Amino acid sequence: MLFISLFISFTEARELLVGGNSNAWKIPSSESESLNKWAEASRFQIGDSLVWNYDPSKDSVVQVSKKDYDSCSTSSPIAVYKDGNTKVKLDKSGPFYFISGADGQCEKGQKLVTVVLSGRHGFFHLSPAPSPVEFEGPAVAPTSGGTSLRGGFMVIFGVLVGLLLF
């Protein structure tokens, strides 16, 4: 049962407080306090949500393109959030770019990029066999180590499915 609950917790969408605490949306005092350091240490999946807490009279969150992220430009935002308790759902794989909407804050480091993993990076993933069209050239026999490892995962997965059904 513990393993099943771990499996479910790895596949459920989560709400992640940006920076890990409620006052993280600010100019970092050092490189080690950069929100990008926090993001690099986190795993974001499709369906997760990022949550920001900030004073809406002093700041905002602006979702931007990579170009605008790099130049700290708010002139053509993807989205602007000014409510002080912003929640953004990560609805696709790839990078998401956010900068502060307060003048000069982005240039001082108040920005965040997150990279959302594609579905194939989940806890368990069974993919269909690739079509023969994808491969050109001679077929190569699988090594015994790869076959037994794959077989071992299938046995474990089969046991788990069996436990869920009974």
Q: Could you give the CA distance from residue 17 to residue 117 in angstroms, rounded to a whole number?
A: 18
pTM of the complete model: 0.67
What is the C-alpha separation between 150 and 129, in angstroms, rounded? 13
Task: Please give the Cα distance from 53 to 34 (Å, whole number).
Answer: 16
Q: What mean pLDDT value characterizes the chain? A: 78
Residue 14: predicted pLDDT: 95
Q: Beta strand pairing status for 15-17 and 49-53?
A: parallel
Confidence of residue 159 (pLDDT cuts 50, 70, 90): very low
> Considering the domain 15-117 in this protein, what is its CATH number?
2.60.40.420
14-28 pLDDT, tens digit per residue, is 999 999 998 899 999
Amino acid 120: pLDDT: 57
The token pair that represents 42 in the structure block? 């986190």
Residue 48 has pLDDT above 90, yes or no: yes
The residues spanned by each domain of the chain are 15-117
pLDDT at position 45, please?
A: 96
Beta bridge partners of 100: 61
Q: For residue range 80-129, list pLDDT tens digits in order.
A: 999 999 999 999 999 999 999 999 999 999 999 999 998 754 444 444 44
